[in-house]
Amino acid sequence: MFQSNTTLRSIRVSLTLLYFFNPILTALRSIQKASTLKNVQSKLGIKRTSLGSLSAASRIFDPELLTSIISKLASQVGSLNLDKRLQDLNVTVVAVDGTLLKALPKMLWALWLDKDHRAVKMHLEFDVLKGVPLRAQVTDANANERTQLKSSLSSGKLYCLDAGYREYQLLESIIQKKSSFVVRVQDNTSYEIIEEHHLSKACLEAGVAFDRTVRLGCKQKRDVISRPIRIIQINYYDERVLSGYKRKSRVSSKKTFRTNSPEHTLLIATDRMDLPAELIGLIYRYRWQIEIFFRWFKCILGRQHLLSLSQNGIQIQVYCALIASLLIRLWTGRKPTKRTFEMICLYFQGWATMEELMKHIESLKIEDQNK
């Protein structure tokens, strides 16, 4: 039976979303079989489709068409109940990072490390204050994260970045795009001090050791960034170590050995001259929210089976997963948890009623209010 490209796109997206909310479905053949069920056709508003049509859709469907849906859903999400100082920033705080997704040996385009390893990389922009994804790109695992970010920069954002993004030209590109950055740099980073700032009581209590206006870089690279920036050092204690946790020593990205000492320092660079040093530290601390999202995405929501072997098909699956996560966030009004995800799946399978699902969501809201 002939189906237009538009119909195929609609069916593919609808069935992929069904896949994320139904653990029984484990492969493309599973969701094709589901399309033959009358209840599925009625509830999703689709027609029966063939395995060949679903497979073809992953090749002819432009995944970028889904990005507008992700953006629209993200715009409807309200901010989380975070520190009030973050709520008053009046800027979108965006954490950016990449994560690897294991690929199959057949996926030659996803070659990584050597011939026996395959992986794809998801480059994600994550709204820290809302706790939701904003934008994603899917590449082979060897793609450079800094290059991917540089190609997608936009204005009016505060980019919160880990040490892997500490490239001076990238920081200058962010400034030229009329955005800002908070980024961790190496402890031995070279800079020329212009001014030493007074530390308030709040800064000292937050562990700020110094707050300086500087020209970043050695003499040869000092002009890459067109304006002076701030360097803030924060001292902190690893509470896990204090409670007996022992981390294995290994060579880090900074070519230094990790120790079991609870004392650590963070050296943070930013072009925001108007924000208190302790608030800069707080912003960087919330960068960890993207790591928590990666864990949710891969361990709970993402499922372990790939529905396609092509980059295009995997991109569709990743975008649909982000849409599913945003829908859960909109339904519940809070960051998704494993228990909530399970309750939604039980509802879609007919084991839980709408009343029971809403009761569960209301109980979560009461928990948030009591915190």
pLDDT at 5 (0 to 100): 60
Dihedral angle of Cα 251, 257, 261, 266, to the nearest 10 degrees: -80
**191: closest CA among 267, 263, 257?**
267
Secondary structure of residue 162 in the 3-state scheme: coil
The 10s digit of each residue's pLDDT in 95-122 is 999 999 888 777 777 877 777 778 899 9
DSSP state of 256: -
Lowest mean pLDDT among 43-57, 100-114, 332-346: 100-114
Percent residues over pLDDT 70 in the chain: 89
How far apart are alpha carbons 86 and 63 in whole angstroms?
Answer: 33
Res. 1 pLDDT band, cuts 50 70 90? very low
d(CA 308, CA 300): 19
Arithmetic mean of pLDDT, 127-150: 94
Half-sphere exposure of 173 (CA within 13 A, CB side): 16
Convert the pLDDT of each residue in 148-177 to its tens digit.
Answer: 999 999 999 999 999 999 999 999 999 999
Report the pLDDT averaged over residues 266-280: 96
End-to-end Cα distance, the chain? 56
Q: Is 340's pLDDT higher than 60? A: yes
Rounded-to-10 torsion of CA 42, 48, 52, 58:
-20
Q: What is the pLDDT of residues 220-269, one digit of tens each?
A: 888 999 999 999 999 987 666 556 666 555 444 444 445 556 678 899 99
**Sequence spans of domains, the chain:** 1-61, 66-293, 337-371
Residue type, 149: L
Residue 273: pLDDT band by 50, 70, 90 thresholds? very high
Q: What is the pLDDT averaged over residues 17-30?
A: 89
d(CA 181, CA 171): 7
Which of the four pLDDT bands, split at 50, 70 and 90, describes residue 365?
confident
Cα separation, 57 vs 75, whole angstroms? 28
Instruction: Look at residues 326, 345, 321, 338 and name the one whose alpha carbon lies nearest to residue 24.
Output: 345
Q: Would you state the pLDDT for residue 58?
A: 83
Quote the DSSP letter at residue 238. -
Q: Is the pLDDT of residue 82 over 80?
A: yes
Token pair belonging to 65: 């068409």
**166: closest CA among 207, 216, 223, 236?**
216
How far apart (Å, rounded) are the C-alpha atoms in residues 154 and 226?
Answer: 18
Confidence of residue 12 (pLDDT cuts 50, 70, 90): confident
Q: What is the pLDDT of residue 253?
A: 40
Concatenated DSSP letters of 18-56: HHHT-TT--SHHHHHHHTTSHHHHHHHT-----HHHHHH
Q: Whole-angstrom Cα distance, residue 329 to residue 336?
A: 6
Considering the domain 66-293, what is its CATH architecture? Answer: Alpha-Beta Complex (3.90)
Mean pLDDT calculated for residue range 178-188: 95
Residues 121-130 have pLDDT tens digits of 999 999 999 9
User: Picking from 124-138, 296-310, 344-358, which range would have the lowest pLDDT averaged per residue?
Assistant: 296-310
Helix (H) or strand (E) holding 73: helix 67-76
User: Does residue 16 register a pLDDT over 70?
Assistant: yes
Range name among 11-15, 121-125, 300-304 with the lowest pLDDT average: 300-304
Q: What is residue 300's predicted lDDT score, i.e. its pLDDT?
A: 85
Can you tell me which residue has the tokens 């011939």? 115
